[in-house]
Amino acid sequence: MSTALANYRSRVQEQPSCDDSWFVAALEQYRAGDEQARLRILGSCLRLALAVVESKHPTSGEEEFLRQVEEANSGLTKALTTFTGSSSAEFLRHAESVIVNRLSPSLGQK
């Protein structure tokens, strides 16, 4: 495993998990314009983005894997901007759907 990939996996593991104990308050803060709340929410969901890439879109090489992780993270950001629900479970389902849809076109571009 390359240093870049190892560093990314390490950063993902350092993030808190996305659960309702703080998500609802962070979502409210984000919707009020708090950039730090947005970053906390996105950071807490990096595990989801990584898991989607690993389980649903296996790749043959590390460079391709890192590219798909970047796409998944972009999908996570889009999911947050389009989310209209109020719970972490709803957000995680929405985010997974957005990430999968974002990655699907890239699979044919290998």
Per-residue pLDDT of the chain (110 residues; tens, 9 = 90+): 577 778 888 888 998 888 888 999 999 999 999 999 999 999 999 999 999 988 866 666 788 888 899 999 999 999 999 999 999 999 999 999 999 999 887 554 44
The model carries a pTM of 0.84
Of 64, 69, 13, whose CA–CA distance to 43 is shortest?
Answer: 13
> What pLDDT, on the 0 to 100 scale, is given for residue 4?
77
Domain 18-105 annotated CATH 1.10.1740? yes
R_g over Cα of the chain: 14
Distance between CA atoms of 44 and 96, rounded to whole angstroms? 14
